[in-house]
Each structure stands twice: as structure tokens, then as C-alpha cells.
Amino acid sequence: MYLADSRGGPPARTAAPDRTGPGRRPAVPGTVLALGAVSLITDVSAEMITAVLPLYVVTALGLSPLGFGLLDGLNNGVGALVRLAGGHLADRGGRRHKVVAGLGYGLSAVCKPLLLVAHGLPAIGAVLAADRAGKGLRTAPRDAMISLATRPEHRGRAFGVHRAMDTAGALLGPLAAFAVLRIAADGYDAVFTVSGCVAVLGVLVLVLFVPARTPGTAPAPGTAARPTLRTSLALLRRPPLRRLTLCAALLGLTTVSDSFLYLLLQRGLGVPAGLFPLLPLGTAAVFLLLAVPLGALADRAGRRRLFLAGHAALLLAYGLVLAPLRGLPAVLGVLVLHGAFYAATDGVLAAATAGVVPPEQQGAGQALVGTGQALARFVCSLAFGAAWSLWDGRTALAVAAAALAAAALTATRLLRTGHPHREGTR
Amino acid sequence: MNRRTRLIVLLLAVALLGTVGTAAVLRAAGRSADRDRQQADGPPVRPGTVALHPSGARQLLVRNLAWGPHRDEITAVPAAHPGAARTASGLTCLRFHAAAGTGICLQAERGALTDTYRALVLDARLRVRHRFPAPGIPTRARVSPSGRTVAWTVFVSGDSYAGTAFSTRTAIADTRTWALDDNLEDYAVTKDGRPYHASDVNVWGVTFADDTRFYATLATGGRTYLVRGDRTARTLTTLHGNVECPSLSPDGTRVAYKKRVPGASPDAPWRLYVLDLATGRETATAEHRSIDDQALWSGTRTLLYALPGDYGSDLWTVPADGSGTARRLMTSAVAPAYTG
């Protein structure tokens, strides 16, 4: 198999597994379940806010929310920098992943009660930006901890379990928020307070149940234990990581954002306006259901292969939107393919990254690949918006589909040439 | 810490955080219950019959925001005596408008899990003739002068590429055929004389000239425009820049609107202006505060609009020609419409 995750092959050393005890070692270690629980709880908290924020801004504050999107470009740039910094800092000083992740979760938790006192759009925008900075800070250290805690051959499944738990939280959050509003009409302050309490609980689970250092992975005394900024960036000189980052970015450049896809889906396939808010739930539900099985499949069939197969599913989804089809079956088809795309790529990319980065630089490696992908997707959004203006939405999607096909072919070649070694995982 | 200690710490924290959360919810619930009790200093509100074809004098219909059992109901007062006792219809709406015996009511519907929204087309006795689902939070509603065509705008979120951006959806429906254009962004846009496409086009705040022709706001690329729309040709054509929430005068010659003025705070960026459609001349009204409402003409000379008040919002009035001063017409009211 050429689409291999290197194990034991130079230059990457694989991270050692979580030693949960002598004898049987579970495929999904307790650390991953604990981090999954932290993400689930944190996402409940975050999505409670996201679900009610438009309603709060329009009905409680009486403000027009149309100017809100203006800050997002800035937030995305800052988010990317913070993510890189988070990954790098987490690797320093003998891996303080837990501390940096904890700071990220803590910062987001502090932002929830701040919404109680932010009454204008600029103030709310600032709180949301800080919240997002917290998210950027914690993402890479968290993925590094998942990688370090899991045996290499089970990483796909472990990331799948984490992403499924994360998505479950995202689906539960809005339900929790509306349950609060049921009990207390217009009780947005109560929603913010409850969300803050939930976020604090998430931080506490992290502090109590995620081990500070993964046993057996600490570098031997005397070896260079503090990666500098230069060594973090030098990761990109490693051909496998460079290729993976390049592929993630290349495919990210042709990954049309969810909202554009939903907009085109609604117009092209004739989704009634009333069903529009349900489209993201469809994608999330499929992601939730498929994350674990596809993660496990990635462990057996090869993570790069599944990552590419996920983009093939996305390409099929574009095709379905462009096809002269209408009606519910076509819409469901697009949502299933879209959810499968996330399940086959999101955690799988992190697992693939873990395989080509040495253990002491997991944070920086995860940050590089993740940031490359996120920035590429943002550029794609800007380009897609411009293409939409130049031609129209459907033509823009057709061009994106052609570009995605070309990017996928290039990525396949890149990942094939990069891996002379057979895949060792079974 | 061993496992047992950690579990005890977690349980204690859950108990503490649970108490804080519960207290916050109960406090909010208590406050919400207060709003169902009538305030001594509030306007008197009595249940009764409200009709869009009143036999007697002209009436002003508003969504009543005064605390008490009829909060959020459409209530009527004599147009000449807005401070008089309000007659509550029993119909709850977030946004409302009416003309020539047709009403449009944008309403929240409590679902099992979340709220959904709908647009109700009402007859002259406020009975529901037709329901349309609405995909977001209601913000504007209008009926054409003849009562045949209705339009509404809602806010939707998560529709743009970067998370917290919001956009609008505006729909127009024919109350004879029930034909529905559920997204005016599908209309062909002509901007500055040329065909125009963009993913960030938003349309809101329809005001009708007749059953097929209307004006509205179109936003794209960070700017807003007054557009003239045609429901038959399915077109939108830009006419004038920096215009939001237009409201056409009864004689069809002027548009009252929100204009973004330089130097204003980002939270309060608008002032109430009137545009002469024939000459393009803009006139500032004597209302110097920022308004965020689609104004209503009460005749050809006076404007009515909502501003934040003690119980949500109050209705204010100002001359349309820039003269005079703004004065408060009604407290605790929003979404006005005149009958007759």
C-alpha cells in the first residue's frame, strides 16, 4: 500500500502509546475519552451561545446584526496565528500541552460571562474574538495529546471518537439553550450564565482527568527538550509533513465552505426556505455517525487514502448540487456525502499528521497542518465569493469542482511519491 | 490526587455550578413572569375585537409591549387618541402590518426543541387565511396598498462563510394565488446599469408602490442601495446609495429611510432621512437619534418609527420635511400600522 502512514521509517519517530496498565491496552485510551468529554462539554457551552446570539442581538438588544461578519476576516487571521503559537508553546518545556490547552479552554470559559456585560456590537465582537482565540490556542495541544496517548495503529479511531464526541456536544448545545429559554422567556443572561458554568465544568474535567504528561514519551534527560521557534518551523523541511501540509492546503483551497454549499443546495435543489436551518444539522448528524467507523477504517486502509476518499465524497456532493435534480432524496444525498467528507477527513488528517511528526513536536506539527488547511479554506471562501460575483453561484461551484478534482489528483501523486514504505499498521 | 478524590472534586463542582446555573435560570424565569403582570403606570389594555375594516374612525394598530396578559398582542387605539385605552386582539405577533383589509403577522411558533417562525396572512377580522414558514428571526413586514401582496424579511445566521455573519431573507407572496417568491436574492439584479451577481447580496425592507412594483434595500460589498423591484419581471434595479429600510409615501413621491451618517458610533449609525424620488434630494428629519426601524407614513407629511424605550420600545413621530421636532406618540409599542 503506497498511501501509507509511516511507522518506524525515517525521519519520523512515532509517539509511544498510553500505558494504561500492564497487559491489555485499549484502542481508545482513557486520555482520549477524557479529552472527548472536555470537547463535548465545551461544545455544548459554545453552541448554546451560537444558537441564541442572533436572537439576542435582534430581539433583546434591538441591534441589526448585519455588520457582524466584518470582523471575521481579522478573526480568521488572528486565529491562525494563535493556533500556531499554541502548538509551538505546547511543545516547549517538555510538553506542556495540558497547560496550553487549559489556558485555551479557560479563555473561552471566561468569555461567556463577559457577554452579560457586552451590550454593543463592537463589545460582543471583541468577546467572540477572544473566545475564538481560546479555541485557536487549544486545538493543536489537544490533538497532540490525543496522538501521544494513542498507539499509532489506533489513532484514526481515537480521533474519530474525539470528533464524534465533539460533534455530539455541538448538536446538544442549541437544545440546552432553547430549554433554558423555554423555562425563562427572553432569559438570555441565564443562557450565558449556564453556558459559562458548563464551560468551567469542561476546564475542570480537563484539569482532573487528563494526565499532565503521557508516560513513556518524555525525552531522555540531556536531549534537546525545548523545541525553538526555528525547530518548529523546520518541521516543514521534513518531506512527509511538507507534503501532507501541502495536500491539506491544496485541497482546502478547493473546499467550498458549508454555508456557500447550503446556499447553492437550497437554490439548486429547491429546499424550502423553512428547512434551511436544518441543513447543518444533517451534515453534523452524518459526521457524528461516521466519525468512528471511518476513523477505524482509516487505521486499516490508510489515512491518506481515506483523506483522499473523503474529498472524492465532497466532489460527488458538488456534482449532486450541480446535477439537474430536485427534491428531498437529492438533498439527503448531498448531506450524507458532506457529512462523510468530514468524517473521512477531519480526525483522519490529524491522525495522519501524528504519524509524520516526532513526539516532542506533535503540537507544532498539528498546528502547521491544521492552520495550513484553515487558511486555505478561508482563501477559498474569498475566491469563491469573487467567482460568484464574476459569474454566478453554480458556475463558481462547477469551477470549484474541477479545481477539487485536479487538486485531488495532484494530492494523490504527491502522497504516493512521498511514501516508498509499506504501511505498517494493521 | 487519586481517582476517588478527583471524582469527589468533580461532584462538588457539578453541585456548585449546577446551583449557580439553576439560580440564574430561576431568576430569569421570575423576571419573565413579572412581565405578565400589569404595571400600575402602564397604559390600560382591554381584550376586545380588533378589525382591519373598522366601521368608525381610523385606528392605529401596534404590537403592545406594555407588561401584562396582553403583552406582544396586536392592539388598536383610535388614530387620533394614541394614549387611549388599548383594545387587545388576542393575536400575538413579533412584526405586523396591514392595509386594505389584509394583515401580515410574523410569529414565533414554539416547537418541541426550538422556536420556528411563520408568516400569517390575515383577513379583515384577523383570521388566518394562509401560513408560510419563515426561515429566521422576523424583522420587517409590509402589505401592498391594495392588500393583495405581502412581503416579509427575516434574519438568518450561519449563511455566510465566516461563522458569525448574518444575512437576510426577504419573501413576497400573492394573497390571491398564494404564489411565493421565498428569496428576492433570486431576482435579476441591475446595479449601476449593469447585470450584477454576488454571493453576498442581501435584500430587506420591502415597501410597495402597487401589487407588483416595490422598493427595498439591497446590500452588497459593504454598501447599501435603494432598489426598485418588479415582481412580474423578477428584477431589482439600484437607484440610490446608502439607503436602508425604505418606506414609500402614500403619494408615491418620497421614500423615508435609514441613512448611515459619517462619524456616528457603530452601534447607532443611522439617521432618519427622506429621499425625493424625482429629484434625488435627501432631507434630514428633525429626529437626531439613530433609528433602526422601517418608518411608517401617517399621511403624506408625518413619519412614525420606533425607538428603544423602558419596555422595549416606544413610538415616535416627526415631520417628513425636516421641520419641527420629534415627539413621543405612544409608549411600549412597536410595529405600527394604520387602518383606513
Please say whether the beta carbons of A31 and A18 come within 8 A: yes
Residue B24 in contact with partner chain A when CB distance is under 8 A:
yes
Helix residue spans in A235-361 (DSSP H): 239-252, 258-268, 279-301, 303-322, 328-355
Three-class secondary structure of residue B216 per DSSP: strand
Sheet holding B333-339, edge to edge: B45-47, B86-92, B73-78, B59-64, B333-339
Do B25 and A62 lie within an 8 Å CB cutoff? no
In residues, how long is chain A?
426
Q: Report the candidate in B79, B180, B175 with the shortest Cα–Cα distance to residue B124.
A: B175
Subunit contact B197:A390, Cβ cutoff 8 A = yes
Average pLDDT in chain A: 84
Residue of B nearest to A281 (CA): B158
> For residue B157, which residues of chain A lie inside 8 Å, CB to CB?
53-54, 65
**pLDDT higher than 80, residue B105:** yes
* Res B42 pLDDT > 90: no
pLDDT of residue A7: 35
B164 and B87 fall within a common domain: yes
Nearest chain B CA: its distance from A274 CA (Å): 5
In this structure, what CATH number is given to the domain that contains residue A408? 1.20.1250.20
Q: How close does chain A come to B154, measured CA to CA in Å?
A: 10
Q: Mean pLDDT, to the nearest integer, of A48-72?
A: 71
Q: How far apart are CA A126 and CA A65, in angstroms?
A: 14
| B130, B167: one domain | yes
Q: Which of residues 164-183 of A touch B (CB under 8 A)?
A: 174-175, 178, 180-183
Q: Please tell me whether residues B65 and B146 are part of one structural domain.
A: yes
In this complex, is the C-beta atom of B110 within 8 Å of any C-beta atom belonging to chain A? yes
Q: Write down the mean pLDDT value for chain B.
A: 91
Q: What is the ipTM of this complex?
A: 0.81
Alpha-carbon span B52 to B40, nearest angstrom: 29
pLDDT digits (tens, 9 = 90+) for A85-119: 999 899 886 558 999 999 999 999 999 999 999 88
Structural Rg of chain A based on CA atoms: 21
Asked if the model's pLDDT at residue B79 lies above 60, the reply is: yes
Cell of B166: 448574518
Residues B170 and B297 in one domain: yes
Residue B202 sits in the same domain as residue B104: yes
- Does residue A226 belong to any structural domain of this protein? no
By residue range, what is the domain housing residue B215?
44-339
> Which of A2, A9, A7, A3 has the alpha carbon at shortest distance from A17?
A7
Residue for cell digits 402597487?
A: B210
B162 — contact with chain A (CB < 8 Å)?
A: yes
State the CATH number of the domain containing residue B68. 2.120.10.30
In a domain, B153, yes or no: yes
Given a cut of 50, is residue A18 above it in pLDDT? no
Q: How far apart are CA B189 and CA B210, in angstroms?
A: 20
**Once rounded to an integer, what is the mean pLDDT over residues A366-395?**
88
Q: Of A280, A263, A348, nearest to A311 (Cα)?
A: A348
| Cα→Cα distances A166→A39, A287, A371, Å | 5, 10, 19
Reported as a pLDDT band with limits 50, 70 and 90, residue A15 is very low
Q: Is B7 helix (H, G, I), strand (E, B) or coil?
A: helix
pLDDT for residue B305 is more than 50: yes
**CB–CB contact A276 B135 (8 Å):** yes
Compute the nearest-CA separation of A147 from chain B (Å). Answer: 24
Whether the per-residue pLDDT at A22 is higher than 70: the answer is: no
pLDDT of residue A123: 85
Give the model's pLDDT for residue A214: 60
pTM: 0.84
Residue B46 neighbours by CB distance under 10 Å: 10
Q: Per the domain annotation, does A11 fall within a domain?
A: no
* Nearest chain B CA: its distance from A128 CA (Å): 9
At A417 the pLDDT is: 65
Q: Say whether B137 and A55 touch across the interface (CB within 8 A).
A: yes
Q: Do A121 and B266 touch (CB under 8 A)?
A: yes
- Count of domains forming chain B: 2
Cβ distance A66 to B139 less than 8 Å, yes or no, reads no
Residues in chain A within 8 Å Cβ distance of B267: 63, 120-122
Of A159-173, A254-268, B121-135, B233-247, the range with the lowest mean pLDDT is A254-268
Q: Which range is least confidently modeled, A50-54, A213-217, A260-264? A: A213-217
Amino acid at B110: R
Q: Taking a contact as any Cβ pair under 8 Å apart, which residues of chain B between 208 and 227 contact chain A?
A: 219, 222
A227: Cα separation from own chain's centroid: 25
* Rounded distance between C-alpha atoms, residue A406 and residue B90, angstroms: 61
Q: Which residue type, as a one-letter code, is found at position B159?
A: D
Residue B182 · residue B169 · CB < 8 Å:
yes
Contact (CB, 8 A) for A26 and A152: no
Q: Quick one: B14 and B73 in the same domain? A: no
Q: What is the 3-state secondary structure (H, E, C) of A276-300?
A: HHHHHHHHHHHHHHHHHHHHHHHHH
Asked if the Cβ–Cβ distance from A190 to B10 is below 8 Å, we say: no
In terms of DSSP bridges, do strands B235-241 and B188-191 run parallel, antiparallel, or are they unpaired? parallel
Please report whether residue B27 resides in a domain.
yes
Number of domains in chain A: 1
* Percent of chain B whose predicted confidence (pLDDT) is above 90: 76
What confidence score (pLDDT) does residue A274 get? 66
State whether B114 and B139 are in the same domain: yes
Q: What is the domain range of residue A333?
A: 30-212+235-417
Asked if residue B39 is part of any domain, the answer here is no
Q: Which B residues 118-157 touch A at CB under 8 Å?
A: 133-137, 139, 155-157
pLDDT score for A223: 47
B209 with B76, same domain: the answer is yes
CA distance B228 to B206: 10
Chain A: closest CA distance from residue B197 (Å): 5
Q: Supply B34's cell numbers.
A: 413579572
Q: Provide the pLDDT for residue A3.
A: 34
**pLDDT (0 to 100) of residue A221:** 45
Task: Please indicate if any CB of chain A lies within 8 Å of the CB of B197.
Answer: yes
For A141-193, the pLDDT digits (tens) are 999 999 999 999 999 999 999 999 999 999 999 889 989 998 998 899 999 99
Min Cα–Cα distance to chain B from A273, Å: 6
Higher pLDDT pick, A299 / A275: A299
Residue A220 in any domain: the answer is no
- As given in the structure block, the three cell numbers for residue A296 are 477505524
